[in-house]
Structure 1
């Protein structure tokens, strides 16, 4: 089994905004992706085959499927108006994902998230298990995130704090990656 991770955040300004804060977000984001791609336990992440910077809608995402966003996203959908940041990735397990998210450069970026992102009151990430060889789609990620919002953590869609093992059993508090 592999662990799928979908993240979604609504930015305070469109990705095409030439402001220094937007440029800083891009620079840190690109560095984080380079770091993640070399992190133990990282398997793959969705990349558009023909996408330009800031282009999500209408890009060719290959096996990751057609791009989709949660129902609560109400900002633009063109290259000039899109105001979101999202990822879809595969990991070998919770511990490697936790280590990548909460250490190093990504941890530094998380500490600044409210400089860039709106506080929506919705979850901003979700995990779920997929069989080896399965590539999750953007629609899968949106569906799981909306399920998490509506039902809380379940084996179908969960967080680090309330996680589940591959067989669907709750992860014991002492063994969860955020309790190590």
Structure 2
């Protein structure tokens, strides 16, 4: 029986460049939030450079529109429950409450979840396809949200 892991991507359109004073508090908290993620039960992997930086990775440039750019968070988790536990606790939830200080409100889907075979490392191209699929088709077993979840066999939970 094949083992599956949960991939998740979320993107955000910046109000100002990462170097601006307005975004400084967000940037200052990236390290602590990422450290919490790295230690969270059920965490497997996250996209980052060799220096541990995820903000310098170019992706989703087609989604920039009239903003200062798009930042990407791409990670893998053992389960939906593990991802939720991290998302809604600690520094991460504090930062989520303040997200509109730094990012534009967006009507389209900016977060997608999907199942990948254990050991598979999702790419930014794959993540872009999942967000586009979700925007075009809504939640399906191929790309879904925390509000409409599917298990690894495609059944809605």
TM-score (norm 2): 0.90
Match in the other structure for 2:131? 145
- Residue 162 (structure 1) aligned with residue 153 (structure 2): no
Q: Which residue of 2 aligns with 1:92?
A: 78
Q: How many residues align?
A: 154
Spell out structure 1 runs of 4+ moving beyond 4 A: 50-54
> How many Å separate the matches in 2 of 1:52 and 1:169?
35
1:13 partnered with 2:4 = no
Contact 2:114 2:144 in 1 (8 A): yes
The answer for unaligned runs of 5 or more in structure 1 is 58-67, 77-81, 172-180
> How far is the alpha carbon of 1:152 from its aligned partner?
0.6
Secondary structure class of the residue paired with 1:123 = coil
Query: How far, CA to CA, are the matches of 2:13 and 2:79 in structure 1?
Result: 26
Summarize the Cα distance change of 1:153–1:46 in structure 2 as closer, same or farther, 3 Å threshold: same
Where does the alignment leave 5 or more consecutive residues of structure 2 unmatched?
none
C-alpha distance in structure 2 between counterparts of 1:107 and 1:86, whole Å: 17
- The residue that corresponds to 1:109 in the other structure is 95
- Per the alignment, do residues 9 and 41 of structure 1 end up closer, same or farther by CA in structure 2, a change over 3 Å counting? same
1:62 matched residue in structure 2: none
Q: Whole-Å Cα distance in 2 between the matches of residues 52 and 35 of structure 1?
A: 15
* Aligned equivalents of 1:70, 1:130: Cα separation in 2: 24
Shift of 1:92: 0.2
1:24 aligns with 25
Distance in 1, matches of 2:26 and 2:52, equals 18
TM-score by length of 1: 0.79
Identify if the C-alpha distance between structure 1 residues 52 and 170 changes in structure 2 by more than 3 Å, giving closer, same or farther: closer
